Amino acid sequence: MAEPTPFNAAERAAAQRLASALGLAPFEPGWVWLAGAGPGDPGLITALGLHAITQADAILYDALIDKTLLKLARPGAELIYAGKRAGKRSCRQSDISRTLVSLARKGKRVLRLKGGDPFVFGRGAEEALALARSGVPFRVVPGVTAGIGGLAYAGIPVTHRDTNHAVTFVTGHGADGKLPAFDWQALANGSPTLVLFMARKYAGEIAQKLIAAGRGAGEPAAIVSDASRPDQTTHVTTLAELGSVALENDAPAIIVIGENVRLRDGLDWLGAMSGKLLVADPLGTRKLSDAV
Ligand code: SAH
């Protein structure tokens, strides 16, 4: 991708005007802001996250953020790639924390920009703890997690009172790279909807374990890849088929298992924009008299 063009003076002044209209916190020198950029669509960053980009002297950004956001950085701001992708060469966590500390100690305004929400399966808390241990002041700017916003872009609500009163976020990738040791019986019984991060590799094993613990092989599941990006794809399948579908490619994906997946037939608003017909009663539970 070509280097983004920095904002000009008038554009920067407009961004500053917006920040003061909203009364946003000032980004002080020597501080680190740990912010979420959302799942992909740059429009999903928060106002505070955007403000931080315009103010930062140094931005350490992840692989999963949309690079057009960096266009808003100050001219001369240091843009440092600190990405990780499963199986690819990546920056060490300790190097990232060390860089954050050393830039902050030089009196820079340091922005750590992470995909989704920084405290959801993204090691943001580890980085924040390293800052705390070093006595570097920091602020956390939450973001839209792929596990909620990414599903919303696929027309799948994480909750609906006719399908699930609870939702569980699960990672398929433990600290050692393996599937963490879950209590599968408890997950199967207590989690009507499961939202899986980093779980392509072990999706088949997860599905088998859930089926063995009593979940239906025909239960709906969906794999939402590159959620909220121009190349977003959604593959609706069943628990029995999930493993093979998940291995079809390696784009970042959120996997959702549960009856709420059926709501996509009525709520795929992105699909509707390109002509897909939405089903009026995707769960088949509404009475005729419910029509508004
Ligand atoms: N902090 C992030 C998650 C980081 S873990 C968040 O809150 O969203 C990285 C995993 O998040 C990916 O392997 C994938 O499972 C998921 N992910 C992040 N962005 C995604 C996207 N745009 N589409 C689908 N999955 C995504």
Residue 69's domain spans which residues? Answer: 9-144
Residues 124 and 215 grouped into a single domain: no
Rg of the chain over CA atoms, in angstroms?
21
Residues 167 and 271 grouped into a single domain: yes
Of the three residues 127, 144, 161, the one that is the final residue of a domain is: 144
Taking only the tens place, the pLDDT of each residue in 47-85 is 999 999 999 999 999 999 999 999 899 989 999 999 765
Sign of CA dihedral 256, 261, 266, 271: positive
pLDDT band at 8 (very low <50, low <70, confident <90, very high): confident
Residues 13 and 55 grouped into a single domain: yes
pLDDT band at 87 (very low <50, low <70, confident <90, very high): very low
Residue 184 lies in a domain: yes
What is the chain's mean pLDDT, rounded?
94
Residues 152 and 266 grouped into a single domain: yes
Provide the residue type at 70 as one letter: L
pLDDT band at 13 (very low <50, low <70, confident <90, very high): confident
Residue 227 tokens read as 């959620």
- 3-state SS assignment for residue 140: strand
Nearest CA to ligand 1 atom 19: 39
Taking only the tens place, the pLDDT of each residue in 169-200 is 999 999 999 999 999 999 999 999 999 999 99
Report the alpha-carbon angle 183-189-190, nearest 5: 85
Of the three residues 144, 161, 185, the one that is the final residue of a domain is: 144
The backbone torsions φ and ψ at residue 80, rounded to the nearest 5 degrees and listed phi first, read -120, 120
What's the average model confidence in pLDDT over 96-121? 97
Measured from the CB, is residue 224 less than 6 Å from ligand 1?
A: yes
Residue 134 tokens read as 């070093």
Residues 134 and 194 grouped into a single domain: no
Distance separating alpha carbons of residues 22 and 2, to the nearest angstrom: 32
Residues 176 and 211 grouped into a single domain: yes
Residue 242 lies in a domain: yes
Tell me, in angstroms, the distance from the centre of ligand 1 to residue 14's CA. Answer: 31
Residue 3 lies in a domain: no
The structure's pTM equals 0.94
pLDDT at residue 3 in the model: 58
Measured from the CB, is residue 149 less than 6 Å from ligand 1?
A: no
Share of the chain above pLDDT 90, in %: 86
Distance separating alpha carbons of residues 73 and 50, to the nearest angstrom: 9
What's the average model confidence in pLDDT over 139-159? 98
Nearest CA to ligand 1 atom 6: 116
Residue 4 lies in a domain: no
Nearest CA to ligand 1 atom 25: 253
What's the average model confidence in pLDDT over 229-255? 97
Share of the chain above pLDDT 70, in %: 94
Residue 89 tokens read as 């060469």
Nearest CA to ligand 1 atom 2: 116
Residues 152 and 101 grouped into a single domain: no
User: Which residues are paired to 234 by β-bridges?
Assistant: 224
User: Has residue 116 got a pLDDT over 90?
Assistant: yes
What's the average model confidence in pLDDT over 96-115? 97
Residue 245 lies in a domain: yes
Residues 43 and 19 grouped into a single domain: yes
Measured from the CB, is residue 253 less than 6 Å from ligand 1?
A: yes
CA 11 to chain centre: 28
User: Has residue 86 got a pLDDT over 50?
Assistant: no
CATH code for the domain of 60? 3.40.1010.10
> Which residues are annotated as catalytic?
62, 84, 198
Residues 156 and 276 grouped into a single domain: yes
Q: How many domains does the chain have?
A: 2
Element spanning 224, H or E: strand 220-225
pLDDT band at 288 (very low <50, low <70, confident <90, very high): low
Residue 178 lies in a domain: yes
Residue 129 lies in a domain: yes
Residues 101 and 211 grouped into a single domain: no
Among candidates 234, 246, 175, which has minimal Cα distance to 208? 246
CA 129 to chain centre: 21
Residues 180 and 122 grouped into a single domain: no
Of the three residues 100, 129, 144, the one that is the final residue of a domain is: 144
Measured from the CB, is residue 254 less than 6 Å from ligand 1?
A: yes
Length of the chain: 292
CATH code for the domain of 277? 3.30.950.10
Residues 192 and 262 grouped into a single domain: yes
Residue 271 lies in a domain: yes
